[in-house]
Amino acid sequence: MRVDLFDFELPTDRIALRPARPRDSARLLKVEGAEISDHGVMDLPALLRPGDVLLFNDTKVIPAQLEGRRGEARVGATLHKREGPRSWWSFVRNARRLHVGDRVEFGSGVSASATERGEDGAFLLQFHGDEPVELLLARAGRMPLPPYIASKRPADEADREDYQTMFAREEGAVAAPTAALHFTPRLLAALEERGVGSEMLTLHVGAGTFLPVKADTIAEHRMHAEWGRIDAATAERLNRAKAAGGRLIAVGTTSLRLAESAADEDGQIRAFEGDTAIFIAPGYRFKAVDGLVTNFHLPRSTLFMLVSALMGLDVMKAAYAHAVAEGYRFYSYGDASLLLPRWAS
């Protein structure tokens, strides 16, 4: 399929620069089959069934954006995938000024050397010293806001909390699993009272999620790998819930991609630990997940391709046209949608 099929008109003022306050006051667009209806996030318990299970991603965003110098040249780095205890693959701004073997000073006593360059132009940075890299980033790094927000305003102290979900505990993401930003203790309590379960998975989201699709066709696009884990006990509980008639509803495209990566052809979820570069686009056959809570995505993005695979491209274009017309707020700090394909309703 051609990438331009996934284009649509999105006014720039629809991209949210700050989250809703309180978090669970955001709007929620329900798309069930081809039926579209308007709700609020706090309506979610009533929109799900007892026995359904929500899949959350407990990854924690690290301050993965760094500004530094190689000699007189300014260099920016956004870490996107950990390669070792002190090594991270990084997208580099002003990359033409950086070469393998160069040392970059990021300030606050933090420095790294470029040890390798990948085919995609990313550099492998090896951080110096003995302190854990997490401590170095806490000193010198900034929260890696998506480029469509960062181009409008700088990251600030509020983002350190706003761009972190209530489930965040496993450090390693450089982008938030933003659908879960809407969840609060009172919303979880209401879901539990409704009989909706929850399970935790871990997928360390990489900055590759923000990269534009530059290819002309879907088949030509290559996803960056991300590390994820589902333990055996969690996989067993998910399989039991599904066997009992419950639906597995992923909270965020990250949870969905991990669950699908861990599922076999019969739909059984297996224990999983390692990298996944799964690319879900129309034509994909879903094996494990029955629905999705997700924010609104940008035109021509792999994430809009994913929701189109789940619901159908025509349905999602109609839903997004409705969302734009009704003033829904888009992307990481924006409103939410509940997507229930016809075959899982």
CATH of the domain at 12: 3.40.1780.10
The reply to whether 214 and 337 lie within a common domain is yes
Q: Say what the pLDDT of residue 161 is.
A: 93
**pTM, to two decimals:** 0.92
Q: How many domains does the chain contain in total?
A: 2
pLDDT of residue 222: 81
Residue 210's pLDDT band (cuts 50, 70, 90): low
Same-domain pairing of 107 and 247:
no
Predicted confidence (pLDDT) at residue 296 exceeds the cutoff of 80: yes
Confidence of residue 16 (pLDDT cuts 50, 70, 90): very high
151 within a domain of the structure (yes/no): no
Within a domain: 146: no
Among 89-103, 184-198, 206-220, 228-242, name the one with the lowest average pLDDT.
Answer: 206-220
Lookup: tokens for 181 = 């930003």
CATH number at residue 82: 2.40.10.240
Residue 157 resides in a domain: no
- Establish if 222 belongs to a structural domain: yes
Strand partners, 197: 53
Average pLDDT over residues 125-139: 94
Whether residues 111 and 247 fall in one domain: no
CB neighbour class for 76 (10 Å; exposed up to 12, middle 13-18, buried from 19): middle
Residue range 164-205, pLDDT digits in tens:
999 999 999 988 999 999 999 999 999 999 999 999 999 999
User: 135 with 199, same domain?
Assistant: no
Segment 235-256 mean pLDDT = 97
117 and 34 within one domain: no
Q: Quick one: pLDDT at residue 6? A: 94
pLDDT of residue 221: 85
Q: Tell me which residue range forms the domain holding 41.
A: 3-61+163-344
What distance in Å separates the CA atoms of residue 342 and residue 253, rounded to the nearest whole number? 19
pLDDT digits (tens, 9 = 90+) for 17-43: 999 999 999 999 999 999 999 999 999
pLDDT value of residue 213 = 81
Nearest to 25 by CA among 41, 44, 45, 43: 41
Instruction: Give the pLDDT of residue 150.
Output: 85
Residues 207 and 290 in one domain: yes
Same domain for 337 and 320: yes
Cis peptide before 341 (omega within 30 of 0): no
Q: Are residues 92 and 118 in the same domain?
A: yes
Residues 56 and 170 in one domain: yes
